Amino acid sequence: ALAAGNCVVLKPAEQTPASILKVAELIGDLLPPGVLNIVNGFGAEAGQALATSKRIAK
């Protein structure tokens, strides 16, 4: 998605939230602000909000 010029909302596994934050920290200066968005939380709660949001293209 990033290679095609799209923004990404990433919901990592609830057991490993820190690992993706470290990756984002390492590559953060390579991407424009708002292109990579990370949502941490429990699957049912965060997933429901992401799946039903009208602001997120599916």
Asked if residues 37 and 7 have their Cβ atoms less than 8 Å apart, the reply is: yes
- Read out DSSP for 4-52? TT--EEE---TT-HHHHHHHHHHHGGGS-TTSEEE--S-HHHHHHHHHH
> Residue 3: pLDDT band by 50, 70, 90 thresholds?
confident
Q: How do residues 6-55 score in pLDDT, each as one tens digit?
A: 888 888 888 888 999 999 999 889 999 999 999 888 888 888 888 888 88
Rounded to whole angstroms, what are the CA distances from 37 to 11, 13? 9, 15
Q: Using only C-alpha atoms, what is the Rg of the chain? A: 12
How confident is the model at residue 48, as a pLDDT?
86
How confident is the model at residue 38, as a pLDDT?
92
